[in-house]
Amino acid sequence: MSLSRSPAFSARGALVLAAFVALPAAAQRRAPEPQQPNWPQVEAETMQHFQALLRFDTSDPPGNEKPAADYLKQVLEREGIPVEIISIEPNRPNVVATLKGNGSKRPLLIMAHTDVVNVDPAKWTHPAFSATREGGYVYGRGAVDDKDNVVAGLMMMLTLKRLNVPLDRDVIFLAEAGEEGATRVGIQLMTRDHWSKIDAEYCLAEGGNVTRMNGQVKFASVQTLEKIPRGIELTATGPAGHGSVPLRGNAIVHLAAAVAKVGAYRTPIRLNETTRAYFQRLAGISTPAEAARYLAVIGADGARAAAADEQLYDLEPRHASMLRTSVSPNIITGGYRSNVIPSEAKATLDVRMAPGEDTTALLESLRRVIDDPAVKVAFSGRASRPQTGIQRLDSEGFKAIEAAVTRHYNTVTLPTMSTGATDMAYVREKGTQCYGIGPALDFEDGAKGFGAHSDQERILESELHRFVRFKWDIVEQLARSTRIP
């Protein structure tokens, strides 16, 4: 066979020539417009997987996330996406799927939990695990907490893979077990023993949402920070005795006085970048009276801040809690017979610390407020979530989310510190920047009993689909390779 006529040779020659000729043009050429997902197809598939996931009863306790995890594994593997199952209890697996990037940036973690809170079947019009579609809604436990995020995460992986999107960073999907009260089988296991598999620069999880009122989008909350739950125990001791002979040292009387003082006490206002931005931006979309309060509590005038803070406590207690370390006496125990003065009585305080709170100083301030040597003040052994690191609002991650909020919801983004705790605390402790996002929900639905952890749960189909597109924009912005191929 003649070398000059070899097809391989000619092909190579043509390629070299083409590359040579095309080079000046290529240098000016922009990267080709990325191929967009086929949205009608994505929506149909989103609904199919969403209903399938809602139909697994993953009530926690006991959890039993295995059928949901198996389902995810099978769907991902069918697509050729490698999956790892990690568990310490066979019925409570975590699913980790990874799409490899070119490694020029650190990974993006998309996480969501497969377990749901318990249901009272009597409260449900449509059975809680039926995933019934009616009137534009899908009904089912987990519809907004958190199988919406699970299915959106799944669709991110499937779509990235199918479009063969070149990635600057690994995209990792974690479907975790045990978020609703058994973190040892879920996020604690993953962050403690398997961190290298989910180690990421950014993480997207639940904890935010877009609020609609009267069907109109009002604002988007992106959770950038959360308070740290701790328990404090008050223990009053005194002499025991016969109830017919009252004693000054009665432990119950001392405890009651201490609880009353703690109840009236409010720790100083402690702001951070998130809460400052939150109140500032919220003021921009509020009534003049509300705006005045929000601006006052972040303002420099101490007296005005204090007055506005008092109003918030009455009118908007969640906002008052966001301003500080909060203390709420929630359990009180003592005494066992009506004719016996007990020698001990206890109260448990639910403390939600503002990030950066000094725990020793906090205990000291409570001791000063109670001012009673008969009452001991100490942190209880209750398991708590770790202190969260500083979350930046000027990061590439937060900016990508803000841009996607504007594009899909055309509204303001409120960086939000949640008063409750989420699994993101464990991930943030590792240094990952975590952002909690979620679909648009009707404000009115909460009062009607259709919200997360409510008697029933539902999501608007149109909002589930909008959320998937919103999340796609964020993921694409953060992970799609910017290198010209």
Would you tell me which residues interact with Zn ion (CB under 5 A)?
A: 145-146, 206
Q: Which of 209, 202, 112 is nearest to 152 (CA)?
A: 112
Residue 284 one-letter amino acid: G
Q: Do 133 and 55 touch, CB atoms closer than 8 A?
A: no
Q: Which of 67, 69, 70 is nearest to 57 (CA)?
A: 67
Reduced to 3 states, what is the DSSP secondary structure of residue 392?
Answer: coil
Number of neighbours of residue 213 by Cβ within 10 angstroms:
11
Distance between CA 86 and CA 69 in Å, rounded? 10
Q: How far is the CB of 438 from Zn ion (least distance, A)?
A: 9
Torsion angle in degrees (nearest 10) through CA of 239, 243, 247, 253: 90
Q: How far is the CB of 233 from Zn ion (least distance, A)?
A: 28
Q: How far is the CB of 175 from Zn ion (least distance, A)?
A: 12
Q: How far is the CB of 235 from Zn ion (least distance, A)?
A: 34
Number of neighbours of residue 15 by Cβ within 10 angstroms:
10
The tokens for 474 are 């964020």
User: Which residue number, 65 or 146, has a Cβ lying nearer to Zn ion?
Assistant: 146
Distance between CA 298 and CA 304 in Å, rounded? 10
The tokens for 195 are 């961190």
User: Which residue number, 16 or 383, has a Cβ lying nearer to Zn ion?
Assistant: 383
The tokens for 7 are 């097809």
User: Which residue number, 145 or 170, has a Cβ lying nearer to Zn ion?
Assistant: 145
Q: How far is the CB of 148 from Zn ion (least distance, A)?
A: 10
Distance between CA 234 and CA 348 in Å, rounded? 6
User: Which residue number, 113 or 169, has a Cβ lying nearer to Zn ion?
Assistant: 113
Number of neighbours of residue 278 by Cβ within 10 angstroms:
25
User: Which residue number, 178 or 342, has a Cβ lying nearer to Zn ion?
Assistant: 178
Q: How far is the CB of 326 from Zn ion (least distance, A)?
A: 21
Q: How far is the CB of 183 from Zn ion (least distance, A)?
A: 12
Alpha-carbon distances of 101 from 104, 395, 426, 482, 483, rounded to whole Å: 8, 20, 25, 12, 12
Q: Which of 475, 439, 435, 474 is nearest to 224 (CA)?
A: 435
User: Which residue number, 206 or 442, has a Cβ lying nearer to Zn ion?
Assistant: 206
User: Which residue number, 263 or 420, has a Cβ lying nearer to Zn ion?
Assistant: 420
Q: How far is the CB of 329 from Zn ion (least distance, A)?
A: 27
Residue 16 one-letter amino acid: V
User: Which residue number, 176 or 206, has a Cβ lying nearer to Zn ion?
Assistant: 206
